Structure 1
Amino acid sequence: MNKLKVAFVCVHNSCRSQMAEALGKKLAENIFESSSAGTETKPNINKDAVRIMKQLYDIDMEKTQFSKLISDIPQPDIVITMGCNVNCPYLPCQHREDWGLEDPTGKSDDEFKKTARIIERKILELKEKIMTNQFGS
Structure 2
Amino acid sequence: MSSSPATSRPSVLFVCVHNAGRSQMAAAFLTHLAGDRVEVRSAGSAPAGGVNPAVVEVMKEVGIDITAETPKILTVEAVQSSDVVITMGCGDTCPVFPGKRYLDWQLEDPAGQGVDAVRPIRDEIESRVRALISQLTPH
Moved more, 42-51 or 67-76: 67-76
Counterpart Cα distance in 2 of 1:10 and 1:131: 24
Q: Structure 2: which 5+ runs fail to align?
A: 1-6
SS at match of 2:108: coil
**Consecutive aligned runs of 4 or more in structure 1 exceeding 4 Å deviation:** none
The aligned residue for residue 66 of structure 1 is 70
| RMSD after superposition | 1.8
SS at match of 2:67: helix
The aligned residue for residue 4 of structure 2 is none
Task: State whether residues 5 and 78 of structure 1, in contact with CA within 8 Å, keep that contact through their aligned partners in structure 2.
Answer: yes
Q: TM-score under structure 1 normalisation?
A: 0.86
Q: Deviations over 1:22-68 (max 9, x none)?
A: 1110011243111100111111100110011011x2222122x2100
The aligned residue for residue 119 of structure 2 is 113
Cα shift at 1:109 = 2.0
Q: Structure 1: which 5+ runs fail to align?
A: none
Q: Which structure has the larger Rg over C-alpha atoms?
A: 2
- The 5-angstrom pairing of residues 1-137 of structure 1 reads 1-55=7-61, 57-63=62-68, 65-71=69-75, 73=78, 75-84=81-90, 86=91, 88-91=92-95, 92=97, 94-132=100-138
Q: TM-score under structure 2 normalisation?
A: 0.84
